[in-house]
Structure 1
Amino acid sequence: MSTKASDLFIECLEEEGVEYVFGVPGEENLDFLDSLSRSDKIRLVLTRHEQGAGFMAATYGRHTGKAGVCLATLGPGATNFVTAAAYAQLGGMPMMMITGQKPIKKSKQGRFQILDVVAMMGPITKYAHQLASSDNIPSRVREAFRLAEEEKPGAVHIEFPEDIADEHTDSRPLKASQSRRPVPEEKAVRAAIKRIEAATSPVLVIGAGANRRLTGRMLTQFIEKTGIPFITTQLGKGVVDERHPKFLGCAALSAGDFVHRALSESDCIINVGHDVIEKPPFFMKQGGTEVIHVNFRSAEVDPVYFPQIEVIGDVGNAIWQMKEDILKQGHWQFDKMLAARAHEIAHRGDSGKDPRFPIYPQTLVQTIRDAMPSDGIICLDNGVYKIWFARNYEAHQPNTVLLDNALATMGAGLPSAMMSKMVYPGRKVMAICGDGGFMMNSQEMETAVRLGLDLVVLILNDGSYGMIRWKQANMGFKDWGLTYGNPDFVKYAEAYGAHGHRVTSAAALPEMIKACLDAKGVHLIDCPVDYSENDHILNKEIKELSVQVDLSARVAEPAE
């Protein structure tokens, strides 16, 4: 018995375990939409902009490892997916985009709204394909999901023309094959262990790839057995609990921080889950520190990254094999690296309790850390505050600090927080957005209210594009061209049916955050911030102090 193509497409999505389709349908999606309306397994989440739908789909993929699905029409709907596609592709988040198209076998409208969307998506996806026959829907959908979800995960795109959607076919959905990722070769593991045991001061660097799979348990056991300290990249935060005594910090700045000083004391870097899209926390040079690359894929050679030993395969299995084989060495010395971390903590001091108003970033970070439970999720937009959170906010669990250090786009904070709350309805979730980034997708407040989410949206209000303003100051240019006006955010929230709050003092912030986290509904907090010390602290003070610190004196290792 033949099946309508659009019905078959939905059946294929159901076979893949799809729970949601996020998007803004158009005329060319109406067959698909009609078929979706009859699904009892997939929920349509109507958003107010395709970019928000894409960010939500990508974040679903980030949390679950399964491709999130988003829907748009042709032309302007498809072009609005471009930023979200790049966000997912660079960030390693599995996502499928479905876009409509005019009939491809005949046309009554000429070239109206028609772009070559497949060609447009090609450079920013793992797979982009136009369906030209309903018979091929099962194989194309299965292939798209396979590619989206296998390492390195990313974005895929299927164009579903209007006339193909209306066809009938005898094809049926395909089931996913049973497969497991290859495990690392034993000789590669042995070579890595031999080098680590011969080193004087080995160190772990935990990157983006380690956060995509459940490697935290294996890495924690490896650290506990060996005592080897670790740092994280921004996308590696939370893989291992950062309260661990062997945590040396997060590489939030590109260079010149205490964590880079600690790295400079190592003679063997074990780089777990490295991805070249992240700024490397160390720079290799010929004859310099040796690097062991542990990842799902071989290293992409770069002028500053060319590892000497590679362990390729499932990262969790690789770390397990290494943990089982390695022996703790009496000649290992970690005093200097741990001393660098101690100096960083000392430099931070009581800055997290600064009473000045508008709120200083250090106070903001500490207040939120104190308020959030260990499994609470913060979702950052992109701005200068991202550096403060990456550097000062200790992540206790994987994927509890969602920031974007790949595409580093603005506008993703609110949609990613909405999706996080949908995936984990029992956990506290907070979107932390600059005023600039928030306004890029602020219309999704209506979506959050309509979905009945319990969500806190914290807006850091400085009336400017603060990250670029900070860079402008650092480069010695005059302060120009980066300030703007904002709406009354409290009234803005209330206009959507959310609850609006305004911070009036540093002392009032902790109680306000706690009350909003405990309350039902969507709560927006307008929080004035003072970034005036960013340039001095991040560009000058930290770099000067990290170079000057004396690491020669032995320090007692923290208690296990």
Structure 2
Amino acid sequence: MSEKVTVSATDVQQIKASDLFIQALEKEGVKFILGVPGEENLDLLESIRKSTIELILVRHEQAAAFMAATFGRLTGQVGVCLSTLGPGATNLVTGAAYAKLGAMPMLMITGQKPVKKSKQGLFQIIDTVGMMMPLTKFTHQLINANNIPARIREAFRLAEDERPGPVHLELPEDIAKELPDRDVHIFERSFVRRPSASSASIEEAVRLIAESRHPLVLIGAGANRKRVSEALQSFIESSGFYFFDTQMGKGVVDERHAHFLGTAALSSGDYVHCAIDYADLIINVGHDVVEKPPFFMEPGGKKVIHINFSPADVHRVYFPQVEVVGDIANALQDLERALAAARVNQSHDIQHDLEYFEKVKVEVERQIMERSDSEAFPVLPQRLVADVRKVMPDDGVIALDNGMYKIWFARNYKAHKANTVLLDNALASMGAGLPSAMMAAYLYPQTPVLAICGDGGFMMNSQEMETAVRMKLNLVVLIVNDAAYGMIKWKQSQEGFEDFGLSFGNPDFVKYAEAYGAAGHRVEAAGDIVSLLEHCFKAGGVHIVDVPIDYSENTRVFTNELSERICLLA
């Protein structure tokens, strides 16, 4: 019989603060951290090495933040990124703003010099917490190892709570080395069921719908959440209402639907705005003030029902008469049942006239198909959008950087599923397209993912091609090449300014791809697009496709044609 061995608490190896930090992240379900570590992160780096968490090293902190934010956007969970102090932390700022305006849950971890005793003066030290304050939901410098689990649990809770967004924790070098008390424990994740909208607000919404003649549904960025798609689809089917969406609401309901009118890709003046102007009631699902307003309210004009997780941000051009506040999916289900009951009970005289919306839809369909088969070269935007749509399956993901092509894709490309069109119409930062696509390709390795970048936006984070190759991603990067900052050049022309200061030269993108170990291709004729993209997806790995674009259509369509023909519908 073996002798029983008693182990005292003092015999157990005590973990340091950085180990506790990483164990708390593991408890939150974190599988990977993106970033560029510095010497102030070395204890944390060693703790990551010993953990189940993967470190994904990138070539610039901005890309790490874009990728972490996109993880949050696609999953609803917190993406995590890491940088050192000073310049590393400042490089996260654009990504923080991207996540805040885009409502993407993300945790940024930054290092710092020792806070209790340091011999380096103010070398590289800035007030990172102060810098992050206006860009985050929560920012905190850790100065006591015992508080690490509580601060991490609070950071994750706040990041994921509606409206989601970025949070930040600073872990100084000396705190990372500290030994926490042995009785410090890591918190379990907590889950909160979001409240349902009040019955009174549902009744008021039914009343407004019953009193309207031309109701129209708007799908905004806030509706691009789990569970909302199914509820919204059911509401539209049962009500028979027509709908349109904003750029960040694309795909929540399949845009091939018979009652889909289009995307509000322009601020005003497009065919879909004919329907918006005609409507006497907008059922606004998931309105988010970060997007350019697709309509403006005026006293005595159209009425608005605001359906969202949070109350409306009232403005002189947005003051909804009814606010249905609570979980959006639950609210839509309650509203659908209440409308059905009102029809059965005939408690309201519900008579809607939706004929005009069908006329708008016919005109929208005609217009977006115009020149979609053009053989012109350089390629016309309409042809590029149509051919990309032919290649991408229903669940294929396109991630758009910011430029003129984003408007063309938002307007002409029909999204079949939620979160299959990743574009940023909030911060609208250049340089986000490639990192966003990389995260989508990492999450969905069997799904075709296409980054669509202008030559300007691509070069802002093009160094991440090395990261994509090292990660062994299946990713195609389509570079829309006009050797200029095309959108600003168009605006410059529209406002009557001389062509100045917006053109540049480009590297040979085929050779550029090959230098990173990727494959490079160049479109030589409009008819090459489909076959070339199909070849890239079939081959797997990382590819760059360089496609010259002719942006003369910007003025013809968005300025001349729309101004002459808009809303001249019989």
Counterpart position of 1:522: 542
Query: What is the deviation of 1:544?
Result: 2.7
Query: What is the deviation of 1:330?
Result: 6.0
Whether the 8 Å CA contact 1:8–1:172 is kept in 2: the answer is: no
CA distance in 1, matches of 2:18, 2:235: 49
CA distance in 2, matches of 1:408, 1:244: 28
Counterpart position of 2:355: 335
Counterpart position of 2:28: 16
> Is 1:443 aligned with 2:463?
yes
Query: What runs of 5+ residues in structure 1 fail to find an aligned partner?
Result: 551-560
Query: What is the deviation of 1:290?
Result: 0.3
TM-score, normalization by structure 2 = 0.95
Query: Alignment length, in residue pairs?
Result: 549
513-522 vs 369-378, which deviates more?
513-522
Give 1:323's match in structure 2, choosing from 329, 336, 349: 336
Counterpart position of 2:316: 303
Counterpart position of 2:105: 94
1:78-133 CA-partner distances (Å, limit 9, x unpaired): 00000000000000000000000000001100000000000000001111110011
The 3-state SS of whatever aligns with 2:567 is: helix
State the identity %. 58
Q: What is the letter of the counterpart of residue 312 of structure 1?
A: V
Counterpart position of 1:137: 148
The 3-state SS of whatever aligns with 2:224 is: helix
107-116 vs 165-174, which deviates more?
165-174
Counterpart position of 1:235: 248
> Is 1:421 aligned with 2:441?
yes
Q: What CA RMSD, in Å, does the superposition of the two structures yield over aligned residues?
A: 1.0
CA distance in 1, matches of 2:81, 2:369: 45
Query: What is the deviation of 1:220?
Result: 0.7
Counterpart position of 2:115: 104
Counterpart position of 2:259: 246
CA distance in 2, matches of 1:546, 1:143: 51
> Is 1:55 aligned with 2:75?
no
Q: What is the letter of the counterpart of residue 496 of structure 1?
A: Y
Give 2:231's match in structure 1, choosing from 218, 239, 242: 218
Query: What is the deviation of 1:482?
Result: 0.2
Query: What runs of 5+ residues in structure 2 fail to find an aligned partner?
Result: 1-8, 344-348
Counterpart position of 2:498: 478
> Is 1:31 aligned with 2:43?
yes
CA distance in 2, matches of 1:521, 1:165: 38
1:184-205 CA-partner distances (Å, limit 9, x unpaired): 1111111101211221011100
> Is 1:540 aligned with 2:560?
yes
CA distance in 1, matches of 2:564, 2:232: 33
Matches within 5 A, 1:449-528: 449-528=469-548
Alignment CA distance shift 1:82-1:232 (3 Å): same
Whether the 8 Å CA contact 2:34–2:55 is kept in 1: the answer is: yes
CA distance in 2, matches of 1:446, 1:128: 31
The 3-state SS of whatever aligns with 1:303 is: coil
Whether the 8 Å CA contact 1:231–1:251 is kept in 2: the answer is: yes
> Is 1:85 aligned with 2:88?
no
Whether the 8 Å CA contact 2:370–2:382 is kept in 1: the answer is: no
Counterpart position of 1:556: none
Counterpart position of 2:80: 69
The 3-state SS of whatever aligns with 2:261 is: strand
1:388-408 CA-partner distances (Å, limit 9, x unpaired): 000000000000000000000
CA distance in 1, matches of 2:165, 2:359: 39
Q: What is the letter of the counterpart of residue 73 of structure 1?
A: T
Whether the 8 Å CA contact 1:262–1:338 is kept in 2: the answer is: no
Counterpart position of 2:201: 188
Whether the 8 Å CA contact 1:263–1:337 is kept in 2: the answer is: no
CA distance in 2, matches of 1:309, 1:299: 10
Query: What is the deviation of 1:324?
Result: 1.3
TM-score, normalization by structure 1 = 0.97
Counterpart position of 2:293: 280
The 3-state SS of whatever aligns with 1:84 is: helix
Q: What is the letter of the counterpart of residue 235 of structure 1?
A: M
> Is 1:148 aligned with 2:159?
yes
| Structure number with larger C-alpha Rg | 2
The 3-state SS of whatever aligns with 1:248 is: strand
Counterpart position of 1:384: 404
Counterpart position of 2:427: 407
163-172 vs 399-408, which deviates more?
163-172
CA distance in 2, matches of 1:533, 1:212: 34
Counterpart position of 2:268: 255
Counterpart position of 1:553: none
Alignment CA distance shift 1:51-1:191 (3 Å): same
CA distance in 2, matches of 1:54, 1:68: 9
CA distance in 1, matches of 2:390, 2:302: 38
Whether the 8 Å CA contact 1:205–1:271 is kept in 2: the answer is: yes
1:3-53 CA-partner distances (Å, limit 9, x unpaired): 21000000010010011100000000000000000112x111000000000
